[in-house]
């Protein structure tokens, strides 16, 4: 049946105790997938797992920090020990940052690359042998900020841009194995209460609510992610603004430069 497209498939979604990751987990579960949830906050992770289990879904919850090599080894090992296979890895865990380059504590550079870049590289590396067996999917959740560098979120942009290189290289390296590699460029998305970003001094700060902005719901983003996997697409750029951003940077890069220079103060104010 169409709505059971993922029956018996095992899907691991990093950063899935809230937001886009949670919405994607729910959608995959309704289509038959067996889930592996992941997060750093054990209380929130268990709450999400119990919520899904109460709806009759098959769920394994694994607390792990994907920026740490050993945690990622354990995450994949527990998945295989529990289910015996892995079909879909969605590298969703990530965090944004705030501050101009000259203001940033050097710790922010390291933290952002560890979380957003290595936090996708490590799980993918250890999952790869099992994805080869299942001829499954490895998907990276990037951002429209990973298409073009923006002021105030410089390290977020850099870490998300790096995912494009990984995805492009893997697509070539793994072509002979019939593995699907996908990358999703997500636009502004409504955030859950309690969502945090890294401030210029390296401390976590609350993310400003996006309710008054033209933001997608996590459930809408989840639909695009699942569609990418079903269609085995490579790149998916979400929202009309994201598509304009993509093509404008190719066709009119100097105009984009001028527009961003004019808007940089407004962008900074909006992020406060």
Helices (H), 85-198: 106-112, 119-134, 154-173
Do 59 and 37 meet the contact criterion of CB atoms below 8 Å apart?
A: yes
Any idea what the Cα angle at residue 136 is, between residues 181 and 74, rounded to 5°?
95
Cα–Cα distance for residue pair 61/264, rounded to 1 Å:
41
Cα–Cα distance for residue pair 11/3, rounded to 1 Å:
16
Cα–Cα distance for residue pair 17/248, rounded to 1 Å:
35
CA distances from 29 to 9, 10, 130, 134, 157 (A): 10, 10, 20, 18, 31
State how beta strands 204-206 and 34-39 pair: unpaired
Which one is catalytic: 122, 156, 177, 185?
156
Judged by DSSP in three states, 105 sits in: coil
**Phi and psi (nearest 5°) for 204?**
-80, 135
Is residue 51 within a helix (H) or strand (E), and if so which, with residue range?
Answer: helix 42-54
The answer to whether residue 204 is catalytic is no
**Phi and psi (nearest 5°) for 144?**
-60, -20
State how beta strands 180-186 and 196-198 pair: unpaired
Catalytic residues, by residue number, are 156
């Amino acid at each position: 049946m169409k709505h059971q497209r993922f029956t018996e498939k095992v899907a691991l979604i990093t950063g899935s105790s809230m937001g886009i990751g949670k919405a994607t987990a729910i959608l995959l579960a309704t289509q038959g997938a067996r889930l592996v949830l992941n997060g750093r906050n054990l209380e929130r992770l268990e709450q999400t797992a119990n919520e899904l289990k109460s709806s009759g879904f098959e769920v394994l919850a694994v607390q792990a920090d994907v920026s740490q090599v050993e945690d990622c080894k354990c995450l994949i090992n527990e998945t295989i020990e529990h289910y015996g296979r892995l079909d879909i890895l969605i590298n969703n865990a990530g965090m944004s940052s705030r501050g101009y380059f000259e203001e940033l504590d050097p710790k922010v550079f390291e933290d952002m690359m560890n979380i957003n870049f290595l936090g996708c590289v490590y799980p993918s590396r250890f999952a790869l042998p099992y994805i080869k067996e299942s001829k499954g999917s490895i998907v990276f959740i990037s951002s429209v900020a990973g298409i073009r560098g923006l002021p105030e979120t410089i390290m977020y942009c850099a870490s998300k841009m790096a995912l494009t290189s990984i995805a492009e290289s893997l697509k070539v390296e793994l072509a002979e194995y019939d593995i699907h590699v996908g990358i999703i460029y997500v636009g502004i998305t409504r955030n859950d209460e309690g969502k945090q970003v890294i401030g210029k001094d390296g401390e976590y700060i609350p993310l400003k609510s996006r309710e008054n902005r033209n933001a997608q719901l996590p459930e809408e983003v989840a639909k695009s992610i699942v569609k990418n996997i079903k269609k085995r697409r490579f790149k998916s750029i979400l929202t009309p603004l994201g598509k304009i951003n993509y093509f404008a940077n190719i066709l009119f890069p100097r105009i984009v430069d001028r527009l961003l220079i004019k808007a940089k103060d407004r962008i900074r104010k909006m992020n406060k």
